[in-house]
Structure 1
Amino acid sequence: MNNLQEIQEKVNYDKIFDCVQCGYCLPVCPTYETMEVETHSPRGRINLVKMVAEGKAAIEDLKDPIEKCLGCMACTTVCPTEVQYGMIFEGAKQVIEEHHVKSAAQKKVEEFVFDSLFPSAKWMGTLGNATWLYQKSGLQKLVQTTHLTALTLHLSRFERVLPDLPSPFERAFRKRRVLPDYKLRKTVAFFTGCVMDGVFFKTNKNTVELLRLAGAEVLMPKEQTCCGALHSHSGKGESAKELAMRNIEAFDIEDVDYIVNNAGGCGAKMKEYPQLFEQGTVWHERAREFADKVRDISEVLVELDGLTFTNSIRRIISYQPSCHMTNVQRVCEEPRILLNSIPGIQIKELERPDFCCGSAGIYNLVNYDESMEILDLKMFDVKDRRPDAVVTTNPGCLLQMKLGIERHGLQDQIEALHLVDLLIEAGPLPK
């Protein structure tokens, strides 16, 4: 097989021709809006991929446009020909990754981050415990005062918006099986996630409590691992496939109705697991069965209809949807149904709620300036609504909105929180 044939296979060349270059994607693409260059639009990127696959352009020409794409998939919601942009995008990422020459140091760092850190519950727990110590010991204040974290990847901005983390004791004694107090409605397995469990452990704890109160038995398979989204979006397709297989194995041992998550990006990746395997294979069928069970926490709570909220939350709320929850999972109404069930709440919809916040996994770390341009557009929308809080359903979005609030000096006026944490604050009780 020659080089062009390999590239064509990886970028799903046959699907490129579904794009008729109509331009419907242009108004919804955040990077096209901020960069105002055709190559940073969905149709422009697809055309570049086509040229590379036909040997009419170099892979290097593709690198910047593809790496600057958020992967928000907003283009797929308006495309009249239903172009499979996600498959083309991830294939292009893989081609770029395989042809990119890296230093030995860069390889070592990536090996640790993608092969050791994110897939390991132990490593993520250790990171969480270290952050707890960093916060409680007073070291955080010292570092912020001396601006030490400003030296690397704008970390000073991100570490200022981290939530208070739980103690190692609280992490160590989490139950792996929780039973409802009243009528059992469903048995579910909870996908804890890597970043969610490492950084937003309390949100995970609140998720389990909501499910329990709503009438679900909750199981947490110990062998579960990272969903693989960050790997796919970084061109590491084989690593994503291996992680998918590990998760399918981990959750296959439990006879559950649903596999529940509380992170829009993770849920989207798990629903896409069948795309990682060749059709007709055993693993493709297992991935399909797995994906059919994947549900966002909001979907399950609305279906169970087992909660009533007793605390009046007299606040103005704006909801910032997760792109992957909206554009890939197609979960749109359930979070709003839950928000409207909270007494006292006033909801002010953003003018462009489906416009990406600029987080996109680790996009805001590796493409910081571009990410901040997009975030500023989002924050102008937020400020026009003047809410007391911005609610979202994904860890990356949550950190990004916290960063936007801090960046615009609104810490004393607006908070950002996960939908799950707001629902707990609203005093849920079984019906």
Structure 2
Amino acid sequence: MIFPAFDDHHPPEKDLIDDCVHCGFCLPTCPTYVLFGEEMDSPRGRIYLMNKGLNEEPLNDQMVRHFDLCLGCMACVTACPSGVQYDKLIEATRGQVERRYERTAQDKAFREMIFQLFPYPNRLRVAAAPLKLYQRFGVGDKLKKAGLMKVLPKRMRAMEALMPMLTKQQEVPEFSPAVGEKRMTVGFIKGCVQRVFFSEVNAATVRVLNAEGCDVVTPKAQGCCGALSVHAGREEEFQAFARKLIDEFEDSGVDRIIINAAGCGSTLKEYGYLLRDDRAYAEKARNFSAKVRDVSEFLQELGPVAERQPMPVAAAYHDACHLAHSQGIRKQPRQTLKQIPGMEVREIKEAELCCGSAGIYNMVEPEPATELGDRKATNVLNTGARMVVTSNPGCMLQIQASLKRMGTSMPMAHPMEVLDASIRGESVETLLLNR
């Protein structure tokens, strides 16, 4: 069946659309509704448009624009009293947009550039080489002083602002043995942006897992999990990535599969649903997803054995959307931090609002992303904490960029970096200095 706006390959499901009673509980937590106050830029407004697409109207520029402006943060899923599965609805809709809507040549080229680079760690490493020189010689600051940065397109300026400080790569071995008595064997997923730009987070994660009695298996050839692709509606590309990753872990003999990046984790846990039509992989995908755990989630399930040394510092904890809303993981990262003697965890005002990172959102929609990033950074500063802790690389880049734009800075770390420093007896000052 062909609908006015959609084809018959997994259009947004009518039953899921009908679950929405338009109560409005989602409105205060929706970033774009908070920014614009526009009904069609709210979850219930977009659901209304999906229904129109099933019954009345073809895809048009205005309709697609409202879908594009959604960050996919899933705060509405948390807020909804009716249990509306907006996550499934917006991903189905984006798949339709990707297949059935003709973007401008400029927009299409920019998006293709992103997807030919970010899901491929080896390509990212090649791109990082000239970026190191760019940073070492302060080229960006010189361009800004000369007023030349302003002539770049907004999207390119956004990418430049998000650029992390590049450090020496820390490789994770294919096998890392448990310290002391072995409690479990786990697999570890390195991610793409995480392994190239935040390799120290991966190294810290493996050390923590070893210290807690886990043998860690990290398949060397593993590639992208496909999270960026599926969130952008690139279904076939996602499926290819997912199948390869499942194959990498199929004979690994691991009890759990650990991920330390929130955006990747939410997709990995949905492999069973996302590959439901694939006869060869549907069951494999369900079995794979059943083993996936966010690292903080896993550590709380396992229980601590490694001794924590005091870390007397106040840290603002930022909830990554795909950890808090998509996976429902909020207390575990806080528990992980609070188990460190002397660690004070401070809450951030408007914690439910996205920071504006949202996968590729801060690159393709830089203006609303910047507003949200600056709002989040202001709330972070208002905590009076000495550092920020969060569980997603995109959030780190986004908040750092906003703080820099505001003329300030704050050390930023993943929970595993903080826990690793505590287990190793690192001082607070060393921790802050290295972040």
Gaps of 5+ in 1: none
- Aligned pairs (5 A) from 1:53-202: 53-56=54-57, 58-102=59-103, 110-114=111-115, 116-135=116-135, 138-139=136-137, 141-147=138-144, 151-153=152-154, 159=160, 162-167=163-168, 171=171, 174-202=172-200
SS at match of 1:2: coil
Deviation at 1:107, TM superposition (A): 5.0
**Normalised by the size of structure 1, how large is the TM-score?**
0.90
- Secondary structure of 1:309's aligned partner: coil
Q: Secondary structure at 2:388's aligned position in 1? A: strand
Relative to structure 1, is the Cα distance of residues 62 and 106 closer, same or farther in structure 2, using a 3 angstrom cutoff? Answer: closer
For 1:32-71, what aligned pairs fall within 5 Å after superposition?
32-56=33-57, 58-71=59-72
Change (3 A) 1:279 1:178: same
Q: Report SS of the residue matched to 1:319.
A: strand
Which one-letter code corresponds to 2:117 in the other structure?
Answer: L
Scaled by the length of structure 2, the TM-score of the pair is: 0.89
- Contact 1:7-1:53 at 8 Å conserved across structures: no
Find the aligned partners of 1:332 and 1:146 in 2 and give their Cα distance: 41
Map 1:275-290 onto structure 2 (within 5 A): 275-278=273-276, 281-290=279-288
1:295 to 281, 293, 296: 293
Identity of aligned residues (%): 34
Q: What's the offset of the Cα at 1:313?
A: 2.6
Aligned to 1:421: 417
Distance 2:95 2:46 in 1: 15
CA distance in 1, matches of 2:200, 2:149: 25
**Maintained 8 Å contact 1:158/1:403:** no
Q: 8 Å contact 1:393–1:418 — kept in the other structure?
A: yes
- Match of residue 221, structure 2, among 215, 220, 223: 223
Larger mean CA deviation between 252-261 and 231-240 belongs to 231-240
Residue number in structure 2 paired with 1:253: 251
- CA deviations 1:321-369 (Å, max 9, x no partner) are 1111111111111111111122222222123322211110111111111
2:7 aligned counterpart, secondary structure: helix
Asked if structure 2 preserves the Cα contact closer than 8 Å seen for 1:8 and 1:53, the reply is: no
Q: Distance in 2 between matches of 1:103 and 1:408?
A: 33
The verdict on how the C-alpha distance between 1:271 and 1:306 changes in structure 2, with shifts beyond 3 A counting, is same
- Measured in 2, the distance between the counterparts of 1:38 and 1:30 equals 12
Identify which range, 195-204 or 51-60, moves more after superposition.
51-60
Structure 1 residues 275-284 or 15-24, which shifts more? 275-284
Counterpart-to-counterpart distance in 1, 2:107 and 2:61: 18
Matches within 5 A, 1:342-421: 342-411=340-409, 414-421=410-417
User: In structure 1, what is the equivalent of residue 268 of structure 2?
Assistant: 270
Shift of 1:154: 5.6
Of the three residues 331, 335, 339, the one matched with 1:341 is 339
1:47-99 residue CA offsets vs partner (Å, 9 max, x unmatched): 01110121235433321111111100011112222111111101111222222
Q: 1:253 to 1:153 in 2, by over 3 A?
A: farther
2:24 match: 23
* RMSD (Å), alpha carbons: 2.4
Q: Where does structure 2 lack aligned partners over 5 or more consecutive residues?
A: 426-435
Q: Which moved more, 1:340-349 or 1:209-218?
A: 340-349
Instruction: Give 1:378 deviation, angstroms.
Output: 1.8
Deviates more, 1:116-125 or 1:317-326: 116-125
